[in-house]
Amino acid sequence: MLRALFTVSLAGVVSCGTQHGTHDTQGELVLSSRTQPEEIPGYTLGGPEVAPAPITLEELGLIKKSLLFTAEDEKYLRISRGVLEPHVEELVGVWYGFVGANPHLLASFSSDAGEVDSAYLERVRARFERWVLDTASAEYDQDWLDYQFEIGRRHHRVGKNETDNARAEDHVKFRYIQALTIPVTTTLRPFLEKGGHSTEEVEKMHAAWVKSVTLQAILWSYPYVKDGDF
């Protein structure tokens, strides 16, 4: 039901510009899987160009503790990767459908005149697909922590559009970053049910995802917060 609600055709959204992939029988764009890091433009996890995080791993641990995020959650995130990986394009398609159906969200990929930058949509989608796998297998080490702050910078006016030379609004409003944790984690659950696991295991995978997405949204918020207040 929820997947049907959020799966909206993006054919009109990505009808202009260069497109890589094929089209299904309804004419919707179906992007080929590009989840290998070396094949993803702008994916720089672990790269030398990523600035060090402004908090320590010890401070990250305190945030996790505040979220009741435990080793068991990490275990169930890893289990979820095997469930989600075969469906990652479909899952991200659901999320993209939700964005495409809401002009206030699609504005982040559009110029001031309302023209959608389809190349930007496509490049971000490839990184979004990889984000699913990274979330499910995160080590929560220094490289991972550094990259979360890079992701936050790419949403804020201090760095948005730079990575992809995009023609789009130069700032994602803070309120939407936090709000989107709900549609992302809610529509994820039907995909977690595809792996043949028990209801209890699905619940644990889903709870772990809610905690992880919340944790990441907190870290992404750093450039939005006054100095000294984070």
What digits encode the pLDDT tens for the residues 23-72?
A: 343 333 333 445 678 789 999 999 999 999 999 999 999 999 999 999 99
Q: What is the dihedral of CA 216, 219, 224, 229, to 10 degrees?
A: 140
Q: What percent of the chain has pLDDT over 90?
A: 83
**Residue partners of 123: CB distance under 8 A and separation at least 6:** 41, 42, 164
Mean pLDDT of the chain: 88
Question: Into which CATH architecture does domain 2-224 fall?
Answer: Orthogonal Bundle (1.10)
Token pair belonging to 221: 């918020």
The Cβ of residue 146 has, within 10 Å, a number of other Cβ atoms equal to 18
Distance (Å, whole) CA 184 – CA 80: 15
Mean of pLDDT values over 160-187: 97
Rounded-to-integer distance, Cα 217 and Cα 57, Å: 17
Higher pLDDT, 78 or 9: 78
Which of the residue ranges 24-38, 94-108, 109-123, 209-223 would you say has the lowest mean pLDDT? 24-38
- Is residue 200 within 8 Å of 135, Cβ to Cβ? no
Cα 168 to its chain centre, rounded Å, is 18
Given a contact cutoff of 8 angstroms between Cβ atoms, the answer to whether 40 and 126 are in contact is yes
In this predicted structure, what is the pLDDT of residue 23? 37
119-146 mean pLDDT: 97
Exposure string over 160-186, b if 16+ CB within 10 A, otherwise e: bbebbebbbbeebebeebeebbebbbe
Separation CA 68–CA 86 (nearest Å): 29
pLDDT tens digit sequence for 145-155: 999 999 999 99
| AA letter at 33 | S
Global pTM reads 0.85
Residue extents of the structural domains in the chain: 2-224
The pLDDT assigned to 35 comes to 64
User: Residue 36: what pLDDT?
Assistant: 78
Number of Cβ within 10 Å of residue 216's Cβ equals 21
